[in-house]
Every structure is written in structure tokens, then in C-alpha cells.
Structure 1
Amino acid sequence: MNMAAVGLIAGMGLAFAGYFGGFGAFLLVAALGAVGFVVGRFLDGDLEPGDLFRTRDREGRR
């Protein structure tokens, strides 16, 4: 499935949550979607646990 189709499905899901559940449901669905995305990236091996908490490399900047 390409990213345009995934975006379409995610947008429709958020729209239904916002319409039927209000703004609070919209935020809840968006937050849980983001958590699911990060967990999926971990399980696929595209993301390491340290990638989220690593500090910026300041070497070479003065």
C-alpha cells in the first residue's frame, strides 16, 4: 500500500473520530495513531530505542 493510501485512510479515521466523538476523540485517535506508528517502526527495525532520546551532535559547531 502506498503512502497516499495510508494517509487517506488515516485522515478518514481522524475525520470520523472528530465528527462523531468531538475534538477530544480526534486528539485521542491522533495520539494513539502516532504511538502505533512509532511502535510499528520499532517492530520493523527502522527505528532504534536510542534514536528518540539521542542528543544532537555538537561536534564541529562553535
Structure 2
Amino acid sequence: MSAATVGLLAGMALGFAAFFGGFWAFLLVAVLGLVGLVIGRMVQGDLEMSDFRRPRDRR
């Protein structure tokens, strides 16, 4: 599935959530979509937990 198709489906899901559920449903769908994206990237191997941690400068 191409990135454009995935973007179209995500936009449609957010649009339906906003139309039928209001702002909070829109926000919930957006946050859960982002969580799903991160988990999917981790499973696929494109993202690692170390990418979220910033090394501290110890002086």
C-alpha cells in the first residue's frame, strides 16, 4: 500500500471521528493512530527505543 493511500485512509478516519464524535474523538483517533504508527515502525525494524532517548552530556 502506498504512502498516499495510507494518508488518505488516515485522513478519512480522522474526518469521520471529527464529524461523528467531535473534537475529543478526533484527538483520540489521532493519538491512537500515532501510537499505532510508532509500534508498527518498531515491529518493522525502522525504529528503535534508543531513538527516543537522548544521550546526556556528562561533564
Q: TM-score, normalised by structure 1?
A: 0.85
Counterpart of 2:25 in structure 1 is: 25
1:1-62 equivalences in 2 (<5 Å):
1-55=1-55
Q: Which runs of 5+ in 2 are unaligned?
A: none
Identical positions, percent:
62
- Which 4+ residue blocks in structure 1 deviate beyond 3 angstroms? none
Work out the CA distance in 1 between the residues paired with 2:17 and 2:7. 15
Of structures 1 and 2, the one scoring higher in RCO (CA 8 A, sep 6+) is: 2
Aligned-residue offset at 1:21: 0.3
Q: Provide the aligned length of Structure 1 versus Structure 2.
A: 57
Q: Higher Cα Rg: structure 1 or 2? A: 1
Q: TM-score, normalised by structure 2?
A: 0.89
Work out the CA distance in 1 between the residues paired with 2:33 and 2:10. 8
1:20-56 CA-to-partner distances (Å, cap 9, x unmatched) read 0000000000000000000000000111111011248
